[in-house]
Chain A
Amino acid sequence: MTTAERGVIYISWGEAAAYGVEMSVKSLWALDPSLPVLVVGDDIAAQRFADRPGFTVYRDEVDPFESNWLYGFLAGRVKPRLAALSPFAQTLYVDADTVFKISPAFGFDLLDRWDMIVVEADERSLLTVLPENRPEVSQTIAELGTAQILYHNSGVFFWRRNAVTVRLFELWSEEWLRFHMWDEQVALLRALMRSEALFLNVPYTWNCRDMKKTFMVFHRFGSMAVRQFRGSKGAVARGLPMGRPLVEVELAPGRFVKVHVGDEEKAVENFRQATGSRRAM
């Protein structure tokens, strides 16, 4: 397969995401300059990337924002449509707040045998999702018969275009529309289970928040967005809504604490400092 049949898709709404795409693509092209990039996004993305060599822009009329708070961006309105939007025979989707450590060619090569490659979520458990998503999680657990199935982070995934992956993305959209919540990954899990796709589960090191452990993509997991929301003191000043819900965070395997939404990274960082473990960045 020639490189031209392979490509990378980003989604980009807002200045921070466009900046993230710019930086991520820089790291991608430092490793593999021939890979074309499609950016799906808003006017800001269209203005920034149109007419730039190597980029194609799809100005998407869909508004993924349910609200202006951190978890108001509903990727489920966009990601399940990417198979229909991709011009590539083999596609890598990657979130904007990422840095490539190795060329994604290694993942593309695996698509000779697999329909899709999905990366386990670092926290791995359905039980760590936002409390607001609990009805969806409870239903998913009931349908699959277990809470222990690994679920995946949709910040990085590869797929090849064929009938089963087209159907898989349709199922993803269908499943997401049942609950239309922030975490579209729970819907992806149900879609994967319902589909006929041969999907390869790969470890979290493919899409990793720890640079030392990263195999392919270092992922900030929204820290840029978090910083946007945090300017000064207090939740209101930070743009975070009052009465933020609590969410469980796994600090270490099997060790959970509840923190307010938006404070997850701070809790992890505090734990790392308290226990003396070093953070990569």
Chain B
Amino acid sequence: MTEGVLREAGDWARPQMYTVSPFERTMFVGSKLALPFDKPWFPLLDHADLVLMQHADRTLASPVWVPSDQAERRATIAELGTENFMRFSTDLVFFGRSARLEAMMAAWYEEWLRWKLGWDLALMRAIHRCPVRIAPIRRLAR
């Protein structure tokens, strides 16, 4: 079982992390994120397809949105049926390997291509389309 860290650098699409990673178990860390802890959540991958940390805004209900993201936000709420779904950060993602996770990651890329804006709304729509087992992590600090 190989475990490794995939550190973001340069322009790319985060939904490609699954295909880019050479590891069986990967910790993806966004370029602007300092490693906030000394104990990665790899053990949770024994129980889940991926480990995601809550976004600072726990749902889509937050009123703070940049104007360019409003169209995607509105479309996401319409497709999900409500703003009341979990919103996850994509700055820190742990993932393993499975067929259903591969399908969800492919859906994430497809969804991202629709607007090519932020990663997390596309992730919400992808999870909605392709269910996976998620171990959710509490946001450590706002």
Q: Report which A residues bind B (CB closer than 8 A).
A: 106, 113-114, 120, 124-125, 144-146, 148-150, 193-194, 197-206, 215-216, 253-254
CB neighbours (8 Å) of A197 from chain B are: 133
Task: Verify A202–B84 contact, CB threshold 8 A.
Answer: yes
The answer to the question of B103 belonging to the interface, with a C-beta cut-off of 8 Å to chain A, is: no
**Contacts A125-B138, A150-B136, A203-B59 given: A120-B84 contact, CB under 8 Å?**
no
Q: Are A203 and B85 in contact (CB-based, < 8 A)?
A: yes
> In the complex, A206 Cα to B85 Cα: how many Å?
9
Q: Assuming A145-B41, A254-B141, is B135 touching A203 (CB within 8 A)?
A: no
- B81 at the binding interface (Cβ < 8 Å): yes
Closest 10 CB pairs of A and B: A145-B43, A193-B47, A215-B84, A150-B136, A198-B131, A205-B84, A124-B138, A203-B59, A201-B136, A148-B138
**Is B132 positioned at the interface, with any CB of A under 8 Å from its CB?**
yes
Task: Please classify the interface of chain B as helix (H, G, I), strand (E, B), loop, or mixed, using the class held by over half of its residues.
Answer: loop
The residue of chain B having its C-beta at the shortest distance from the C-beta of A147 within the complex is B138
Say if the beta carbon of B39 comes within 8 Å of chain A. yes
Q: By the criterion CB–CB under 8 Å, are A148 and B140 in contact? A: yes
| CB of B32 closer than 8 Å to a CB of A | no
- CB of B43 within 8 A of CB of A144, answer yes
Contacts of B54 in A (CB 8 A): 150
Which residues on B are within 8 Å of A, measured CB to CB?
39, 41-44, 47-48, 54, 58-59, 61, 81-82, 84-86, 131-138, 140-142
Q: Contacting A149 at CB < 8 Å: which of B42, B82, B136?
A: B136
Inter-subunit contact B137/A193 (CB<8 Å): no
Q: Which of A124, A145, A194, A202 contacts B85 (CB 8 A)?
A: A202
CB-based contact B47/A194 at 8 Å:
yes
**Which residue of A113, A120, A205 contacts B131 across the interface (Cβ within 8 Å)?**
A113
Q: Which residues of A contact B141 (CB under 8 A)?
A: 254
How far apart sit A146 and B84, CA to CA, in the bound complex (Å)? 26
Contacts A106-B81, A106-B82, A193-B48 known; A148 to B137 CB distance under 8 Å?
yes
Tell me the smallest distance from the CB of B81 to a CB of chain A, in Å: 6
CB closest chain-B residue, reference A145? B43
How distant is the Cα of A203 from the Cα of B60 in the complex, in angstroms? 10
CB within 8 A of B58: which of A106, A144, A203?
A203
Q: Which residues of A contact B134 (CB under 8 A)?
A: 201
Closest chain B residue, CB of each to CB of A213: B61
- Tell me the nearest residue of chain A to B61, going by C-beta: A205
Taking CB atoms, residues of chain A closer than 8 Å to B61 are 205
The answer to whether A149 and B81 have CB atoms under 8 Å apart is: no
Which A residues touch B39, using CB under 8 A? 145-146
Give complex CA distance A124, B44 in Å.
Answer: 17
* Distance to closest chain A CB from B136 (angstroms): 4
Q: Are A120 and B86 in contact (CB under 8 A)?
A: yes
A206 touches B84 (CB 8 A): yes
Taking a contact as CB atoms under 8 Å apart, the answer to whether A146 and B131 are in contact is no
When the two chains form the complex, which single residue of A125, A198, A216 contacts B133, counting CB atoms closer than 8 Å? Answer: A198
Closest A residue, CB atoms, query B137:
A148
